[in-house]
Structure 1
């Protein structure tokens, strides 16, 4: 019996990972499964003769790092990273059990199918195939499987960078999630979006204070009222448009490919015509602030002295300080701002040998492929790894059906990955790593 190829094995590995519930609630007391998933990966790697290191940042919050020596140890190493945790899923909202790894209609279904156990499986399938065949990559490849990416990275990549930076010694470049996926223009042309930038994260808590008292009295100093007014103002506010180099390059190239007019002063007119990726791209032309949580009071007939709200803010490269000034103007001077978590935006150029290798690997599997840079509106583990001086890209290749609303699957209901796309991705990743 012939051994499985990487393209065959990746489906089984992805299914196995989907069946491990690694839900990250944001509360260490209720987050589950990261250690179990890390041990599964460790078993697959050690079975192939690859040494691994497991590091717990807290009980059951495990991270795994492995280094595969390359032919030229003097070259900068390439970091290939993926997170093992997923956001929670409400089974009552899904058409299949979210942790079943069910295969139907040409897809693998489950929480984490595209965020990002598909790429976790690709990484594992490629290096296991190398070990079976005795292949040695041209330079060191460092694999990192992290915890806690979905809740700020404190127990994952930030922990590794802070406590175990030596594991990444010599790494000069990295590839990770949310890039390399296709956007179909026509039967002969697909744009593959490579993440070269991502917005900064600033999770804020707004606090309003007032005079506490009985709910039956007339109060003109009500903390809940003051907070509600500030939150409503933030939620309705549109911050000024700022077009960064990565976004400008993407809009110019996609507009040309689609044959639509791009008005630099009104780019949202062109973005509205992008179909399934309009939401993804539309969030990258301005800073954003979205209210996500409210907290106030302890009894129905007591006016509290304090009310609080959480605001999820995402800032463009170079805009963090400007954004805070703008936000202060929206909420007014009397609302206190507390920083919960703050991580810088990233941006790098769309150039170099690794970028060229990405394009070549895609074209070898899809002659209609063309790579374009873009900015991710969210954040990834690249934020932590970039602090080590590593140049980070989002490249987890997938060839997608033209009618699939890919961006809606992230943290969405009925998350799934096309089986053929998964197999395509592992072939592209193999080509890229061999040519990098």
Structure 2
């Protein structure tokens, strides 16, 4: 796969001076700005943009009207319709034209407009009617990812209204099915305004955590993510009457295969992102666990060290994982099973071929009568290269709100639009400093998802500082 190395070298703070190579830029966030972004995020939440409800195009229309009102020309706003299972969804692309000075390639800004659906009966509030309680805004998508999407859009609008012109093109690329297939994401990576981007910044892959009193904020800059593949492991035989059991029972054979998958251990792997992560984890944990992490850094085949780190959650970044998630077998209570199928979902270390994982599963099962077949499409994606100049700019934007807070590159185990951009050679990095109280606020995809409003408003400063630092301009 092609990998390009990047070459370019409110607590709301009311006014911040930001030094850029060209000039000092002043960031001023007003009450009107906060009111606008609050209105926008509530509007976005009110659209039920889950698959099957057909609301993504309506949200695109609402955003388009706002971009037009902010001064963006019609020819700089394009929708990218995609039909999936008889339903139309779409992506949205908005070009903020630069002055053209310096002839630098565009920067893409990513977020997704869709959400995982919610069951209203399980929520304390209506998931699609935003409600403020105790400093939080409750609603589906409030944190994943309508906050990030709204903040990027609002910053483009604020700067456009203020008459700011970037030194290079900045391009919004909002997807419409990130949660269910990323078909719009793939279409966006091929859009003429997006495909030549020097790099992409993903509002769905940046952020941080802090204590409830706001202390100890830490942030991550996602530069890699595990990809995934789902496999169907199946057995079959002629079956028969349950009164006459036979030795080659399809369920028993499948059970043996599942136990083999349970015992499977993929090898320890490192890339430049995870190596740095593990060094920091080792230093933070210390003791026997920290020592074990350090031993794996020196020797990935150290079995005793692996046995220690397997007991902590931090270890999942070190290897591919596969786990059984669904079962289907038999057709009647008084008949021997003719078919038995297990679904196994794998989260794959970046750049590991899907076919290699499939072969590893088959070898571990060790029974040629058991089929191991790919269910749907397997996705392979590399890590983005370390880019210290960019990381320094991201840290500057984070420190505008959280002075001195650590912000380090990371690899995530979940999937985002970033995987599709990395697949086509566009290095992609998480951007954003939405600080959440963990684990209390970790509710994405779950019930009573919520957004800490004090952190949300601060993000107006982050994105303002970031865009001006990346693209200078007037």
Check conservation: 2:147, 2:456, Cα contact below 8 A: yes
Give the superposition deviation at 1:104: 0.9
Check conservation: 1:382, 1:392, Cα contact below 8 A: yes
Distance 2:141 2:32 in 1: 23
Distance 1:268 1:246 in 2: 22
Check conservation: 1:119, 1:396, Cα contact below 8 A: yes
Indicate the larger mover: 13-22 or 44-53.
44-53
What SS does the aligned partner of 1:80 have? strand
Change (3 A) 1:167 1:304: farther
How many matched pairs?
419
Distance 1:307 1:271 in 2: 31
What SS does the aligned partner of 1:171 have? coil
Give the superposition deviation at 1:31: 5.0
Distance 1:430 1:267 in 2: 44
The TM-score with structure 1 as length reference comes to: 0.87
Give the superposition deviation at 1:255: 4.7
What does 1:22-421 correspond to in 2, within 5 Å? Answer: 22-24=49-51, 30-50=52-72, 51-58=76-83, 59-72=87-100, 74-154=103-183, 156-161=184-189, 164-184=190-210, 189-235=216-262, 237-256=264-283, 262-263=290-291, 264=294, 265=296, 266=305, 279=313, 281-320=314-353, 321-332=355-366, 333-339=368-374, 340-401=376-437, 403-406=438-441, 408-421=442-455
Query: Structure 2 regions of 5+ residues with no counterpart?
Result: 1-28, 297-304
Change (3 A) 1:435 1:65: same
The TM-score with structure 2 as length reference comes to: 0.80
Check conservation: 1:201, 1:342, Cα contact below 8 A: yes
Q: What RMSD in Å do the two structures reach over aligned CA positions?
A: 2.8
Indicate the larger mover: 77-86 or 34-43.
34-43
The residue aligned with 2:461 is 427
Deviation string 1:65-117 (CA, Å, 9 cap, x unpaired) is 11111123621111001111111222232222222221111111122122211
Change (3 A) 1:107 1:375: same
Indicate the larger mover: 335-344 or 323-332.
323-332
Larger radius of gyration: 2
Indicate the larger mover: 202-211 or 181-190.
181-190
What SS does the aligned partner of 2:317 have? coil
Check conservation: 2:185, 2:417, Cα contact below 8 A: yes
Distance 2:58 2:324 in 1: 34
Query: Structure 1 regions of 5+ residues with no counterpart?
Result: 25-29, 273-277
Check conservation: 2:272, 2:386, Cα contact below 8 A: no
Distance 1:197 1:271 in 2: 21
Deviation string 1:355-391 (CA, Å, 9 cap, x unpaired) is 2110111112211322111101011111222233211
